[in-house]
């Protein structure tokens, strides 16, 4: 089993240029299927929203679909879907993305739509009130009306972090959402939705020269506006364990999640990457360390997962971030016992290293996941847009399987050794459901 | 403000189907292999007919399928698959057991060998089965606290009555009573190649991939104990069923309406009517409920196909305070589409969406594999896409109006609401007859 499987690589071409107004563009053509993916990513996320305006970055994402310079409310949706395509957007800690996937013949339409809202969304009182209601329903569906809502992504950051940007609720409080104004939205757009603060990526079935011309034609007249200075959101690491416990009145079973800070994903990538692999060594499938021990042998958890970044976007997050483990337990489960076992397994890994073949098979599986994600045009356009935005290196998407394959046992062992209890933040959810 | 014209669409090229091959092996397994070489991976889907199997046993079998063979433990299976970048998992629906997986293309032979070992030499070790049984019970407990699950459970019962489809999740106590020996028996009787279809899609040579499947799975033989599910009963519209969930901050509104199967000559027209009503974001119901009223976040409708019948389902989570008004708007939009023909523009928009998203769905290995496997479930092949596309392209406004009148009329609807009954019963009762759930 120790034989090393060759990890294949993709060779997606990458063309980059910057328009005179500062918009950065990435093109990655591929004629194998008659579809295109278009992604526009703005360098603003949950961490950038002002105090007293929790949830605002996400609310603003909704407003970007509510009409723009040449488009009435509802027109954006109808034009994308009426072209045979699909669309969405999402708000992350460090960026907000907007995207479409369409039949190839609709590329220019998608570029027109994105350029139109980059020039300016229609920010009206009526649309704002309507989307505040919609966002509140989204929060009810995903958090308030369901068991384990927001566990752990909304529950763990306030235990781990001290500063508002890192610790606050990214979905927002109803109070903050209700008091948002059109003036707030306009100020947010003016500050963060500058074309110098955005990247555009196009992947799929198109001709590079024609697409370049279209991009110049549609985005060239977006007024030049520079990016605001990028703040540092860093804060000191924990020096003593921090914990919180809460009761979820809808949850039938207990759960526990822990996080430890990891190196800067961008500034210190070489030291960061081993943690990405470590998360999989610990939790990817029945042959992983913690699943084998906690689920199968001890039966102290019913499921356990591990990943980096509170939203699972390990190659699209800036410093500070964390490696997370989250587990659901059987009735009467004991979070402390689970954590003690995790500590024991981490110590064993740090002391004894990996078994023969263990690293290679985990690397092979990560490669499959990475490659699979890039099979869709959006799976290339979106990460390339973010890699351009955050690192100026969209071609890194091709390199990730190989880079993962180069992580060594010594690096995994060293990473495991840093996950000490005193650097850990933990949140436990207690069942409050009457069963 | 400058006025800029919306760019025209360049019409789609003719639908191009990928290269594929098919062979039925001596044991009765049909293998379909499709080449899409975009990434050096292969996707695997295996469906095994499983209708009318004992629900608690079949559900636990699907959870425990990879717990061991006579020579491999669950950890060995997982590690051996991982070594070729692979992973396999199993799931169950009322018609079939479905194995889903993928690996590096270079690992296809190994993945097939491991799959074959699991299918032909299963052990269901006592300890591992006990672990999976406890986990399944816990997962069902969690599901029972999910409003979407509870609403669906109530709707299925209301729709299907005594038909086998009426219950799709076993009770925790039923699962607790399942012993490993029962899984071994069920596996021996039902996990058989007769009528099963294996789909492989990826960076493969289709003929060679089928050879590999034949080599690995040639020894999987034996007749299946088959069981045909009787046709689903017609929906019985009646009072709205209100299921109490005290303290809920949202209500789950669910409706079932009749539908036709995929091969029915009227299916394309019904799908277009469904899209115009509520089947995509730019539909009347979604624009009304979300973008005009702000009652809900993700309302959706879809046509669900089972082997024994099809149904059109309507689903929205709405704030408790607007539960009555949400039902009102839903009944209004159903009544409107059932009574008035759609506009030309909205029909064309829905048509282009339906045709475009077919192409999007085919553009990845996983999408193609899912589509081919799902079609195979109904005895269809990918070339059905040509017929279906042609039917979507030519369905007339009159045909769509006719389908809407026949299937989407609100008098056809079976309706369930899960919510805080104390707060929502009165507003709902103002609109329709309401019956409280006995539970």
Q: What is the pLDDT of residues B137-163, one digit of tens each?
A: 999 999 999 999 999 999 999 999 999
Domain boundary among A174, A189, A220: A220
Helices vs strands, H then E, count in chain B: 16, 12
Region at B377 (left for phi over 0; alpha for psi -120 to 50; beta for the rest): alpha
pLDDT > 90: percent of chain B: 95
In this prediction, residue A1 carries a pLDDT of 43
Tell whether A257 and A158 lie within a shared domain: no
Return the number of CB contacts < 8 Å for A and B.
Answer: 251
- Mean pLDDT score across all residues of chain B: 96
pLDDT digits (tens, 9 = 90+) for B73-120: 999 999 999 999 999 999 999 999 999 999 999 999 999 999 999 999
| pLDDT value at residue A101 | 98
Q: What is the CATH number of domain B240-436?
A: 3.30.830.10
Same domain, A291 and A356: yes
Beta strands in B298-432 (DSSP E): 300-306, 309-319, 414-419
Q: Is B40 on the interface with A (CB under 8 A)?
A: yes
The answer to whether residues A71 and A120 belong to one domain is: yes
- Give the range of the structural domain holding residue A92, as residue numbers without chain letter: 15-220
Neighboring chain A residues of B147 at a CB cutoff of 8 Å: 145-146
Question: Do the domains B240-436 and B20-218 match in fold?
Answer: yes
Judged by CB atoms closer than 8 Å, whether chains meet at B138 and A302 is answered as yes
Straight-line distance from the first to the last Cα atom of chain A, in angstroms, rounded to the nearest whole number: 46
Contact A368 B87 (CB under 8 A): yes
Residues 259-318 of chain A whose Cβ lies under 8 A from any Cβ of chain B: 284-288, 292, 295-296, 299, 302-303
Q: How many domains, chain A?
A: 2
Rounded average pLDDT over B224-238: 92
Determine the distance in angstroms separating the CA of A386 from the nearest CA of chain B, rounded to an integer: 21
- The stretch A172-177 carries a mean pLDDT of 96
For the segment A4-59, what is each residue's pLDDT rounded down to a tens digit?
Answer: 678 999 999 999 999 999 999 999 999 999 999 999 999 999 999 999 999 999 99
Residue A184 CA to its chain's centroid (Å): 25
Instruction: Give the mutation candidate from B39, B114, B134 for the A interface (greatest A CB count, under 10 A).
Output: B39
Domain boundary among A220, A253, A273: A220
Q: Which of B6, B145, B359 sits opposite A103 (nearest CB)?
A: B359
Is the separation of the CB atoms in A194 and A228 below 8 Å?
yes
What's the average model confidence in pLDDT over B295-304?
A: 97
Residue A123 sits in the same domain as residue A25: yes
pLDDT higher than threshold 50 for residue B174: yes
Do A211 and A288 have their domain in common?
A: no
Which CATH number applies to B20-218: 1.10.40.30, 3.30.2350.10, 3.40.309.10, 3.30.830.10?
A: 3.30.830.10
* Residue B4 reports pLDDT greater than 90: no
Note whether A197 and A322 are same-domain residues.
Answer: no
From B7, B102, B145, residue closest to A147, measured CB to CB = B145
Any chain B CB within 8 A of the CB of A417? no
Is A211 in the same domain as A247? no
Q: Of A384, A276, A255, which is closest to residue A321 (Cα–Cα)? A: A276
Q: Same domain for A186 and A335? A: no
Does residue A177 form part of some domain? Answer: yes
DSSP, residue by residue, A101-137: EEEGGGHHHHHHHHHHHHH-B---HHHHHHHHHHHHH
List beta partners, residue A247: A430
Which residues in chain B are contacts of A116 at CB distance < 8 A? 4
Same domain, A305 and A401: yes
Q: What is the pLDDT of residues B192-224, one digit of tens each?
A: 999 999 999 999 999 999 999 999 999 999 888
Q: Read off the pLDDT of each residue in B20-46 and give the average, rounded to a whole number.
A: 97
> Can you read off the two tokens belonging to residue A17?
């240029």
- Report the alpha-carbon distance of residue B146 to residue B152 in Å, rounded: 10
Domain for residue A235, yes or no? no
DSSP string, A220-282: TTSPP-PPPPPPP---PPPSS-EEEEEEETT-SS-EEEEEEE---TTTTHHHHHHHHHHHHHH
Q: Does the beta-carbon distance from B79 to A1 stay under 8 Å?
A: yes
pLDDT higher than threshold 80 for residue B425? yes
A2 pLDDT exceeds 50? no
Are A293 and A203 in the same domain? no
pLDDT digits (tens, 9 = 90+) for A383-423: 999 999 999 999 999 999 999 999 999 999 999 999 999 99
- The predicted-structure confidence for A207-249, as pLDDT tens digits, reads as follows 999 999 999 999 999 999 999 999 999 999 999 999 999 999 9
What does the pLDDT read at residue B39?
Answer: 96
Here the CATH number for the domain that contains residue A216 is 3.30.830.10
Domain map of chain B by residue range? 20-218, 240-436
Mean pLDDT of chain A: 96
Same domain, A211 and A283: no
The reported pLDDT for the residue numbered B439 is 59
**Residues A201, A342 within the same domain:** no
Tell the residue number behind the tokens 């034949």, with chain if given. B214
Q: Which two tokens stand for residue B165?
A: 């489809």
Is residue A68 within 8 Å of A112, Cβ to Cβ?
no
């Amino acid at each position: 089993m120790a034989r090393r499987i060759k990890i294949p690589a993709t060779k997606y071409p990458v063309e980059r240029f910057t328009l005179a107004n500062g918009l950065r563009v990435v093109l990655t053509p591929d004629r194998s299927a008659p579809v295109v993916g278009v992604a526009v990513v703005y360098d603003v996320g949950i961490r950038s929203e002002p105090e007293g305006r929790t949830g605002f970055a996400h609310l603003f994402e909704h407003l970007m679909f509510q009409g723009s310079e040449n488009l009435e409310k509802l027109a954006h949706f109808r034009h994308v879907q009426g072209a045979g395509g699909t669309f969405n957007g999402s708000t992350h800690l460090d960026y907000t993305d907007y995207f479409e996937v369409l039949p190839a013949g609709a590329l220019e339409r998608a570029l027109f739509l994105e350029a139109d809202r980059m020039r300016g969304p229609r920010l009206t009182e009526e649309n704002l009130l309507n989307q505040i209601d919609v966002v509140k329903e989204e929060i009810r569906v995903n958090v308030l009306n369901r068991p384990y809502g927001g566990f752990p992504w909304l529950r763990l950051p306030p235990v781990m972090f001290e500063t508002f940007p890192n610790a606050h609720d990214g979905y927002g409080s109803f109070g903050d959402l209700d008091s948002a104004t059109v003036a707030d939205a306009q100020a947010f757009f003016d500050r963060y939705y500058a074309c110098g603060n955005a990247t555009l990526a196009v992947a799929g079935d198109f001709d590079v020269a024609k697409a370049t011309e279209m991009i110049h034609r549609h985005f060239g007249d977006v007024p030049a506006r520079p990016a605001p200075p990028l703040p540092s959101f860093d804060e000191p690491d924990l020096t003593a364990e921090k914990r919180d416990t809460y009761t979820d009145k809808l949850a039938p079973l207990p759960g526990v999640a822990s996080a430890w800070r990891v190196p800067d994903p961008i500034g210190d990538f070489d030291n960061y990457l081993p943690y990405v692999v470590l998360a999989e060594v610990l939790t990817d499938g029945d042959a992983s360390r913690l699943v084998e021990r906690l689920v199968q042998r001890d039966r102290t958890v019913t499921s356990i997962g591990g990943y980096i970044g509170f939203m699972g976007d390990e190659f699209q997050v800036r410093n500070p971030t964390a490696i997370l483990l989250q587990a659901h337990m059987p009735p009467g489960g004991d979070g402390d016992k689970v954590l003690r076992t995790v500590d024991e397994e981490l110590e064993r890994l740090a002391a004894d290293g990996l078994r023969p073949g263990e690293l290679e098979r985990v690397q092979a599986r990560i490669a499959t996941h990475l490659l699979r994600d890039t099979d869709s045009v959006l799976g290339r356009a979106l990460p390339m847009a973010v890699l351009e935005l955050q690192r100026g290196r969209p071609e890194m998407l091709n390199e990730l399987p190989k880079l993962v394959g180069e992580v060594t046992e010594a690096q995994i062992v060293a990473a495991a050794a840093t996950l000490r209890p005193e650097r850990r933040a933990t949140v436990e959810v207690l069942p409050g459901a009457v069963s | 403000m400058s006025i800029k014209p919306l760019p025209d669409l360049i019409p789609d090229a003719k639908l191009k189907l990928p290269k594929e091959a098919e062979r039925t092996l001596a044991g009765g397994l049909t293998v379909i292999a499709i080449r899409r070489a975009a990434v050096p991976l292969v996707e695997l889907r295996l469906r095994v007919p499983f209708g009318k199997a004992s629900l608690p046993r079949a559900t636990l079998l699907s959870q425990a399928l990879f717990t061991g063979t006579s020579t491999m433990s669950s950890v060995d299976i997982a590690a051996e698959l991982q070594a070729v970048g692979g992973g396999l998992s199993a799931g169950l629906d009322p018609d079939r057991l479905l194995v889903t997986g993928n690996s590096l293309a270079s690992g296809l032979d190994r993945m097939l060998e491991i799959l074959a070992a699991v299918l032909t030499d299963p052990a269901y070790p006592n300890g591992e089965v006990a672990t999976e049984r406890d986990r399944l019970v816990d997962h069902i407990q969690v599901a029972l606290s999910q409003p979407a699950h509870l609403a669906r459970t109530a709707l299925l019962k209301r729709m299907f009555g005594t038909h086998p489809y009426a219950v799709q999740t076993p009770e925790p106590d039923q699962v607790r009573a399942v012993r490993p020996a029962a899984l071994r028996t069920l596996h021996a009787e039902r996990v058989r190649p007769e009528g099963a279809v294996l789909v492989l899609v990826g960076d493969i040579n289709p003929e060679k991939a089928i050879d590999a499947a034949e080599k690995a799975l040639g020894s999987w033989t034996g007749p299946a104990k088959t069981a045909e599910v009787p046709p689903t009963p017609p929906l019985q519209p009646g009072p709205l069923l209100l299921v109490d969930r005290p303290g809920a901050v949202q209500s789950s509104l669910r409706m079932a309406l009749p539908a036709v199967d995929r091969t029915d000559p009227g299916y394309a027209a019904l799908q277009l009517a469904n899209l115009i009503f509520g089947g995509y974001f730019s539909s009347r119901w979604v624009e009304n409920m979300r973008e005009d009223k702000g009652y809900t976040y993700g309302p959706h409708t879809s046509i669900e196909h089972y082997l024994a019948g099809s149904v059109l389902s309507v689903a929205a989570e709405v704030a408790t305070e607007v539960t009555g008004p949400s039902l009102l708007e839903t009944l209004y939009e159903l009544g409107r589409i059932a009574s008035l023909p759609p506009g030309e523009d909205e029909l064309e928009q829905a048509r282009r969406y339906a045709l475009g998203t077919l192409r999007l769905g085919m553009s990845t290995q996983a999408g193609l594999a899912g589509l081919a496997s799902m079609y195979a479930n109904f005895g269809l092949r990918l070339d059905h896409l040509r017929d279906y596309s042609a039917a979507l392209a030519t369905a007339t406004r009159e045909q769509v109006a006719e389908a809407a009148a026949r299937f989407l009329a609100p008098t056809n609807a079976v309706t369930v609401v899960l919510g805080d009954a104390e707060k929502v019963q009165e507003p709902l009762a103002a609109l329709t007859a309401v019956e409280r759930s006995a539970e």
